[in-house]
Structure 1
Amino acid sequence: MMVHSVYSDRDVFLRELISNGADACEKLRFEAITRPELLGEDAKPRITISADPDNKQLAVEDNGIGMGREEMAEALGTIARSGTRAFIERVEADKATEDSQLIGQFGVGFYSAFMVADHVDVIS
């Protein structure tokens, strides 16, 4: 798998999933500049990591922008297709990149989870 050639340290998956969560929070913050109703009641950016050792499960949750069904299929269904990259391109077209601090731009970070897991659920 391509992920193994990109990452030599199996533990990098956690950093990558946190990075994805940070990107989702940043996208929400940016979009909420013009659409404050997107923030709802839980406006403070949050990434939560919880472990269930008995079931050998790890959850990384955020309260960022989320993805619709189509975006999820497009972004997660094709390796190296980064939703962050598409977002940056859209923002650059609008000449507003100075206010956006996005991390993950290569699209393989999510796939690093498969270095340590046989099954990955994405809920949005």
Structure 2
Amino acid sequence: MTASTHRFEAEVEQVLRLVIESLYSHREVFLRELVSNAADALDKLRFAAVTDPSLIPEGAALGVRLIPDREAGTLTIADNGIGMSREELVDHLGTIARSGTRELVKKVAEAKESGDLSLIGQFGV
């Protein structure tokens, strides 16, 4: 695989508003979202393996691992799901809060009022 560099972009004002107004009011949401994303990657791999069984080697143990490192003060969430292509990484991780940001802020505000946190993962936050 050839290394490449891509510009990271963010609409800072929108990101800060999103974080301050929604995510910090429910501190556990980010962890639930990361574990949910990992579980989704496993589901997608299992689904793809229906038509291409070679995607999951015989005896493979699919799962999500939570790896705490007290010394470093980190928690790693790791999975061995479907992964992302180079294009998906560039498209989805290269820009935060650009497309649909206003819609996201509106929906998060509505969800916050109603107490519904289920929409957070729908926007890749």
Quickly name the TM-score band, shorter chain normalised: 0.5 to 0.7
Give 1 or 2 for the bigger CA radius of gyration: 2
Do the aligned partners of 1:42 and 1:63 also contact (CA within 8 Å) in 2?
A: no
Residue matched to 1:9: 26
User: Once the 2 structures are TM-superposed, how far is the Cα of residue 6 of structure 1 from its aligned partner?
Assistant: 3.0
Residue matched to 2:72: 55
> What CA distance in whole angstroms lies between the structure 2 residues aligned with 1:53 and 1:28?
31
> What CA distance in whole angstroms lies between the structure 2 residues aligned with 1:42 and 1:9?
38
Deviation sequence 1:42-93 (CA, Å, 0-9, x none): 5443000011011111110011001122211211223367xxxxxxxxxxxx
Residue matched to 1:117: none
TM (norm. structure 1) is: 0.61
Percent identity of equivalent pairs: 52
> What CA distance in whole angstroms lies between the structure 1 residues aligned with 2:71 and 2:57?
34
Which amino acid is the alignment partner of residue 44 of structure 2?
Answer: K
**CA RMSD, aligned part only?**
2.2
Residue matched to 2:111: none
Residue matched to 1:45: 62
Secondary structure of 1:33's aligned partner: helix
> What CA distance in whole angstroms lies between the structure 1 residues aligned with 2:62 and 2:45?
9
Which amino acid is the alignment partner of residue 76 of structure 2?
Answer: A
Counterparts of 1:32-111 in structure 2, within 5 Å, are 32-41=49-58, 43-79=60-96, 104-108=121-125
Q: Which moved more, 1:4-13 or 1:22-31?
A: 4-13
> What CA distance in whole angstroms lies between the structure 2 residues aligned with 1:62 and 1:42?
16
TM (norm. structure 2) is: 0.60
> What CA distance in whole angstroms lies between the structure 1 residues aligned with 2:124 and 2:31?
15
Do the aligned partners of 1:52 and 1:58 also contact (CA within 8 Å) in 2?
A: yes
Residue matched to 2:12: none
> What CA distance in whole angstroms lies between the structure 1 residues aligned with 2:59 and 2:27?
33
Residues 77 and 5 of structure 1: CA distance in aligned 2, closer, same or farther (over 3 Å): farther
User: Once the 2 structures are TM-superposed, how far is the Cα of residue 41 of structure 1 from its aligned partner?
Assistant: 4.2
Count of aligned residue pairs for this structure pair: 87
> What CA distance in whole angstroms lies between the structure 1 residues aligned with 2:28 and 2:124?
17
